[in-house]
Amino acid sequence: MRLYDTVARAAVTIEPITPGVLRVYACGPTVYRDAHVGNMRTFLVTDLITRVAQDEGVRTQVVQNITDVGHMADDTGLGGVDEGQGGAEDRVVREAETTGSSAYDVARRYEASFHRDLSALNIHPADEYPRASDWIDAMIELIGQLIASGHAYVGDDGSVYFDVRSVPDYGRISGNRIEDLRAGHKFDADAPTAKRFHADWALWKHAGDTRTQMVWDTPWGRGFPGWHIECSAMSVRLLGPSIDIHTGGIDLRFPHHEDERAQSNASVGHEVVNTWVHAEHLLFDGRKMSKSAGNVVLVDDVVERGIDPLALRLAFLQHRYRQQMNLTWSVIEGAATTLSRWRVRVAEWATSPSRPIPDAWRDEFRSAVADDLDTPRALQVLHQVERDPEDAGAKFEFFVWADRILGLDMARDVGRTREVPEEILDLLEDRARARAAKDWTESDAIRIRILELGYQVTDGPEGQTVQPR
């Protein structure tokens, strides 16, 4: 398998540090709200990597963190501009105060929602889901080590900061160089600050007098962790000082992954992560998803429209993970049509005698997914096989085999019989007559009516087929 390494700026061959075992750390959700479909696309990348690795005979060990404390609302750029006692608002704590709940209640509610969404998209669970709030002792220990080695210092405000200038190669992930980093608009270069350099970031924040939730006692006073330190502490403790792959969204490249890399490398004295893999942004209707734009889409929204959430997974697979994708409802509905048709075909092929999968099919599919997860090309192989005159039994075996990586549950309808309501059968006859008369307007209207009744029509060489949506 080859994957695009953000540091190398090229696709590299993945060779596990420990032969036969691939160790992956995946940045997980900050559980102050539901993860949207853009987040889920990023989480799918880790699932695909592990499925391909397992197909190649490699065992995987995956850790995905749950950020339930420490992610500041202003953690963007320059390590996060979070001056002052208490700093910017913690996203989980802010949600708790807004809703009158405890921070832990908020975090657990959205963590449960995250796991439901993973299941709906058939994303295999990680081996471990460490919560930041459960790893405070490890963070405190790591921060103490960084202070002792000269990579961190205690500021006058009681917070602990990482000294970015102590890491000469800072910026290898994002391309940002220390000498080019300038204070952001929220930083006044002439104002007093506890930082020695404006691009230093907080490893531990002094709680101040106002914060009462999620605070802990440390040698530096009562406070709470910065965002980046959790991943350094948990990844090295759970996966060891050398990790094969680290995944996340492209928006985490800077500052989160840049700062995490600096902390981790400083703590062990060498490069911790071999390959950094980032998923590109997902737009919806051509715009970045945001509350103000009114275009934030959740997995639940897909389900509420009567669409199988695995159609969303297929829509993601139709685009390369490291290419920006513009998702629309028509794209999702189109994927649902394809998925429904394939399930019907697989159920039909299942009644034929089993036949071996031709090597050419298997080799072409494997070549695609191993080439930096080229899932669009892999899906093209399925389309070609679907049209191939080869024995139906071989098609069945191939689709079921390929689905171990695609994760679309394509054998769902095998052996299942359904009674199609009389009303739907009547509408199908009406549509057939409209199509025979080339009345495409009437034909489309009937198709939409059938869709509203919970069924989907597919046109093929043998005519119309219908199945529940």
Are residues 256 and 314 located together in one domain of the fold? no
Residues 312 and 253 in one domain: no
Tell me the three state secondary structure of residue 307. Answer: coil
Amino acid code (one letter) for 229:
I
* 240 and 294 in a common domain: no
Q: What is the pLDDT along the chain (469 residues), one digit of tens a residue?
A: 999 999 999 999 999 999 999 999 999 999 999 999 999 999 999 999 999 999 999 999 999 999 999 888 665 544 333 433 344 679 999 899 899 889 999 999 999 999 999 999 999 999 999 999 999 999 999 999 999 999 999 999 999 999 999 999 999 999 998 877 765 434 444 445 789 999 999 999 999 888 889 999 999 999 999 999 999 999 999 999 999 999 999 999 999 999 999 999 999 999 999 999 999 999 999 999 888 888 999 999 999 999 999 999 999 999 999 999 999 999 999 999 999 999 999 999 999 999 999 999 999 999 999 999 999 999 999 999 999 987 999 999 999 999 999 999 999 988 766 667 888 888 998 998 998 888 988 988 998 888 878 788 877 666 787 776 6
Whether the Cβ atoms of residue 393 and residue 353 lie closer than 8 Å to each other: yes
Q: Indicate whether 238 belongs to any domain.
A: yes
- Which structural domain range is residue 433 located in? 422-468
Report yes or no: 113 and 301 within 8 Å, Cβ to Cβ. Answer: no
Tell me if 66 sits within 8 A of 132, measured CB to CB. Answer: yes
Say whether 170 sits in a helix, a strand or coil.
Answer: coil
Asked if 253 and 318 sit in the same domain, the reply is no
Among the candidates 234, 254, 279, a domain finishes at 279
336 and 434 inside one domain: no
131 beta partners: 66
Q: Give yes or no for a contact between 349 and 341, defined as CB atoms under 8 angstroms apart.
A: no
Single-letter amino acid, residue 219: P
In this structure, the answer to whether residues 399 and 439 fall within a common structural domain is no
For the beta carbon of residue 138, count every other beta carbon within 10 angstroms.
Answer: 18
Placement of tokens 């070609």 in the chain: 384
Q: Which residues of 5-26 are buried (b: 16+ CB within 10 A; e: fewer)?
A: bbbeeeebebebeeeeebbbbb
Rounded to 5°, angle at Cα 260 from 80 and 281: 70
CATH of the domain at 311: 1.10.730.10
pLDDT at residue number 4: 98
Which strands make up the sheet holding 216-218, listed edge to edge?
152-154, 160-162, 201-206, 221-225, 216-218
- pLDDT tens digits, 213-242: 999 999 999 999 999 999 999 999 999 999
Number of domains in the chain: 3
Residue 146's H or E segment, with its range, is: helix 136-148
